[in-house]
Amino acid sequence: MGFYKLLMDSSSENDIVCHYENDYGIQQYDLKMGKKIDGWNDNFEFYYDVTEGEQATDYLANDMGWLVVSDRLKTMMEELNIKAEFFSVSIREKTTNTKLNDYYV
């Protein structure tokens, strides 16, 4: 069995950092426990402030501590046969409401 370690480079000051406003009953550690998630709420959204950072990376920092990945990173993980369950998540800029497409938890 192969194991991979994913590290976040936090040296850039312009990377997006996501925050949530409503957890829709999803507990912070639900996605970290390695359990199957039934009933993912598609209304869950992260927000970011463009004045704090505007660079969308493949692995977004967030206040839930979740693995929030781009479609590109998700595809790489799938090609490596990493067994993970992915849920689409909405990410919006809080002032303009501009949406980042194709991100997953």
Written as tens digits, the pLDDT of the chain (105 aa) is 677 778 888 788 899 999 999 988 888 888 877 777 887 888 899 999 999 999 999 999 999 999 999 999 999 999 999 888 899 999 999 999 999 999 999
**Collapsed DSSP state (helix, strand, coil) of residue 76:** helix
**Residue 7 confidence (pLDDT):** 80
Distance of CA 98 to the CA centre of its chain: 16
Is residue 1 situated within a structural domain? no
Is residue 2 situated within a structural domain? no
Q: Is the dihedral of CA 70, 71, 76, 81 positive or negative?
A: positive
Is residue 8 situated within a structural domain? no
**Residue 1 confidence (pLDDT):** 60
Is residue 100 situated within a structural domain? yes
Distance of CA 35 to the CA centre of its chain: 17
> What domain range includes position 78?
17-33+40-104
**Collapsed DSSP state (helix, strand, coil) of residue 15:** strand
Is residue 7 situated within a structural domain? no
Query: How many angstroms separate the CA atoms of 12 and 19, rounded?
Result: 18
Number of domains in the chain: 1
Is residue 6 situated within a structural domain? no
Is residue 22 situated within a structural domain? yes
Is residue 80 situated within a structural domain? yes
